[in-house]
Structure 1
């Protein structure tokens, strides 16, 4: 939602995004039923690609290729950013969140690989 606010998409672009999300959700749901281990691993790799994309986005902001506009209110509220936060601040926290998701999904895949039950396995305290 944050980047939809930043991009100011047209109605048909939003419709396309929603359609792709519906297809992905249904495909992922079926994949998870077949193999939770594979599903978590796929998401972890998608998160790795997202981290790379956000890193490139951050470089473009820092280089002045993309304007470092004020963060939209939805991002300030959701990420608990300070008043006056910018797009760069948003990209930094979103990238960190994606890194956390990557790690959690790799951990979940590893748990399934070891034929353990995820709900009975706790992540180590230093695991990020």
Structure 2
């Protein structure tokens, strides 16, 4: 929702995103039924790509290729950013979230690889 506020996509761009999400959801659902280990690993790698993309986005913000506009209110509320936060602040916290998601999904895949269930092996304290 944050980046929808920033990008202001047209109706057909939103429709395309919904269609792709619908296809991915169903494919992922089937993939998870077949192999949770594989499904978590795929998400871990997708998150790694997201981290790379957000790092490039930050470089463009820092170089001035992309204007560092004020952060949307939805982002300020969700991530509890200061009122004067900018798009760079938003991208920084989103990238940190993606890094956490990457770690959690790779951890979940490792647990499944060891033949255990996640409820049997919670992540250790401080694991990120």
Give the structure 2 partner of residue 63 of structure 1.
Answer: 63
After superposition, the C-alpha distances for 1:68-119 in whole angstroms (9 at most, x for unaligned) are: 0000111111111110100000000000000000000000000000000111
**Counterparts of 1:18 and 1:79, CA distance in 2:** 24
Partner residue in 1 for 2:113: 113
The CA deviation at 1:126 is 2.3
- In the other structure, the counterpart of 2:5 is 5
Shift of 1:120: 1.5
Root-mean-square deviation (Å) = 0.5
Map 1:1-128 → 2, pairs under 5 A: 1-128=1-128
Q: Select between 112-121 and 92-101 the one with higher mean Cα deviation.
A: 112-121
The C-alpha deviation readout for 1:2-28, integer Å capped at 9, x for no partner, is 111100100110111011001100000
TM-score w.r.t. length of structure 2:
0.98
Unaligned runs of 5+ in 1: none
SS in 1 for 2:88: helix
Tell me the number of residue pairs that the alignment of Structure 1 and Structure 2 aligns. 128
User: Shift of residue 35 of structure 1?
Assistant: 0.1
TM-score, scaled relative to structure 1 = 0.98
